[in-house]
Homo-oligomer: A and B are copies of this chain.
């Protein structure tokens, strides 16, 4: 059985993939992989995902240049989630933040934005700023 065959994709053929910065330990994003995205990630050493909204494969950084170079790939006890440790070029979030997880729950103030923008998404993506996600 190949490493891909061991994985349990869901009824839509997808699996959540957590992306973690290999050096800092910061969780950068979560996106979905289908079988092909997983295999491309392993083969090329750059993270690939399947976009549920655009219904196509994408390579993280294909528009922004902010690619993720794979350091290690893990799966969990149920073989139904992927964890990829990466070296992130630039910042991960298409909104310009280092991590997509920049909304912190504050009991008084609701979801509060934490962290500074590392880049201006309009400059990097132009009018496509919502597309690479």
Contacts and interface: CB of A to CB of B under 8 A. Distances in A.
A32 to B, nearest CB: 10
Contacts of A74: 101-105
A97 B74 CA distance: 14
Interface in A70-95: 72-79, 81, 83, 93-95
B3 A105 contact: yes
A48 B102 CA distance: 22
A16 B101 CA distance: 13
Query: Residue among A79, A94, A101 with the most chain B CB within 10 A?
Result: A101
Contacts of A25: 24-26
Contacts of A76: 29-30, 100-103
Given A75-B111, A79-B111, 12 more contacts: A6-B110, A16-B16, A16-B30, A18-B18, A30-B81, A72-B104, A73-B105, A75-B105, A76-B100, A76-B103, A77-B97, A77-B102
